[in-house]
């Protein structure tokens, strides 16, 4: 998603309490290693390129690196394989994703996303112009969140892109603000256009 487009997502629109949850996981995006994945979960080269591109669409490069730039794509692949965001939990109704289900009833998110985006593109998603890719991902996102109880695999993918980005060096200390030494308590602060949330402010995190 390109910075400044009215029909795209604004980067800070994604910054909610849940996006910082993975700080507790100890696996920042830059440290993601696909050697930690079982052989049957290993993505293809094309899937890695796709996930990097999709991550960059969700959080594009502006004055700070985008999610694709910091390695969020591989972080998502690794996290999905290990079941973060309930990725290895069997779906209640997996009929719509039958061709992508494992024997335990959980969905193969990366394979699903690859086929889903290619189908929406009418061929090769990666061969589309950036504006077209943005439109396709925006449409997928809107449909996935239209119903609160939707089991769309996109929800976990998107959540992990955000997690990977905001636990990276760029996300945690450039896009957000890192203050290792707490300052005084101010109950009422002016909200200015250049305000950045504090990445290590655990008091603001709702773990649900």
Instruction: Output the CA angle 40-27-86, nearest 5 degrees.
Output: 60
Six-digit token string for 179: 């203050």
Q: Does residue 17 fall inside a structural domain? A: yes
Q: Does residue 27 fall inside a structural domain? A: yes
Confidence class of residue 120 from pLDDT cuts 50, 70 and 90? very high
Give the residue numbers spanning the domain of 97.
11-174
Whole-angstrom distance, CA of residue 48 vs CA of residue 41: 12
Structural domain count, the chain = 1
Mean pLDDT, rounded, of the chain: 77
Q: Does residue 195 fall inside a structural domain? A: no
The 10s digit of each residue's pLDDT in 106-115 is 999 999 999 9
The 10s digit of each residue's pLDDT in 46-56 is 999 999 999 99
* Mean predicted confidence (pLDDT) in 21-26: 41
The 10s digit of each residue's pLDDT in 58-89 is 999 988 889 999 889 999 998 898 888 888 89
């Amino acid at each position: 998603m390109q910075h400044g487009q009215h029909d795209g997502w604004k980067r800070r629109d994604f910054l909610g309490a849940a996006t910082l949850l993975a700080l507790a996981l100890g696996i920042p995006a830059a440290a993601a290693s696909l050697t930690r994945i079982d052989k049957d979960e290993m993505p293809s080269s094309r899937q890695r390129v796709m996930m990097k591109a999709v991550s960059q669409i969700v959080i594009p490069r502006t004055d700070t690196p985008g999610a694709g730039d910091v390695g969020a794509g591989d972080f998502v692949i690794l996290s999905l394989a290990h079941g973060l965001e309930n990725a290895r939990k069997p779906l209640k109704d997996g009929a719509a994703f039958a061709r992508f289900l494992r024997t335990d009833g959980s969905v193969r998110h990366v394979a699903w996303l690859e086929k889903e985006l290619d189908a929406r593109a009418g061929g090769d998603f990666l061969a589309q112009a950036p504006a077209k890719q943005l439109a396709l991902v925006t449409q997928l996102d809107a449909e996935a969140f239209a119903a609160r109880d939707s089991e769309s695999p996109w929800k976990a993918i998107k959540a992990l892109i955000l997690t990977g980005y905001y636990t990276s060096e760029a996300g945690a200390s450039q896009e957000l603000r890192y203050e290792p030494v707490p300052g005084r308590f101010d109950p009422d602060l002016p909200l200015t256009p250049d305000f950045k949330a504090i990445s290590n402010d655990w008091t603001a995190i709702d773990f649900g």
